[in-house]
Amino acid sequence: MNKNVEVQDLGVKDYKECWDFQEVLFKKILELKIKNRREETDLPTPNHFLFVEHPHVYTLGKSGDKENLLVNEEELAARGATFYKINRGGDITYHGPGQIVGYPILDLDNFFTDIHKYLRLLEEMIIRTLDEYGLKSSRSEGETGVWLDVGTPFARKICAMGVRASRWVTMHGFALNVNTDLGYFDHIIPCGIRGKAVTSLNAELGVKEVPLQEVKEKLLRHFAELFEAELTKEDTTV
């Protein structure tokens, strides 16, 4: 099993361009797995972890309801935002400046073949990172992602998740609100869940800005611990 994960920080990248790049990496892993099975070889499959920050964009998962987007195309354009219906799980969410988006593209055969465990460990990575900032976060039963004040009238989501998996290869991932303009969430019913708010790390801490690189380093440290992975950092962009 190859537990090495190549980490790339893509900086600010158009959503569709990054989605296409994910698909290339995803398909290469799948093709290698198929080749190994057909030819009875044992070539190691690679693993990737992409960090990216997207310009304003709304994405709708394959089982999502477009009615949860509360503005039309003209209003989207006026706000400098785009919209994509995509092939991940989950409903609608927002990506934009000040948000850390992470796309682990892993062959879970290298780690464990359990998609629920995979999601729970991603949530745990976020929970442990927020704990370092003095924030007590948790899961909300039946609702993937990470929340604050679960079980109270003040429950609010700080990290959304939605993934795709085929032959135990993953893509898409998580979106952690760090310095995010939360006003953009007013134009959707986030994750299709009515009556619950969203929040961000800087809003919870009462500061203007939290250094994104600092948060990324904490996320990677917890990811490596939870997945028992070895990380290799690359400076390559697409």
49 labeled binding residue:
no
- Among candidate residues 101, 125, 126, 191, the one labeled active-site is 191
| 3-state secondary structure at position 49 | strand
81 labeled binding residue:
no
Known catalytic membership, residue 191: yes
88 labeled binding residue:
yes
Helix ranges (DSSP H) in 132-237: 201-205, 212-227
| 3-state secondary structure at position 112 | coil
160 labeled binding residue:
yes
Alpha-carbon distance 37 to 32, whole Å? 9
* Both tokens assigned to 4: 């090495």
β-partners of residue 59 are 84, 93
91 labeled binding residue:
yes
Alpha-carbon distance 75 to 68, whole Å? 15
120 labeled binding residue:
no
90 labeled binding residue:
yes
Is residue 170 within 8 A of residue 62, CB to CB? The reply is no
79 labeled binding residue:
no
Which residues are CB-contacts of 203 (< 8 A; sequence separation ≥ 6)? 182
134 labeled binding residue:
no
Can you say which residues are annotated as belonging to the binding site for substrate?
88-95, 160-162, 173-175
Residues with catalytic roles: 191
Can you say which residues are annotated as belonging to the binding site?
88-95, 160-162, 173-175
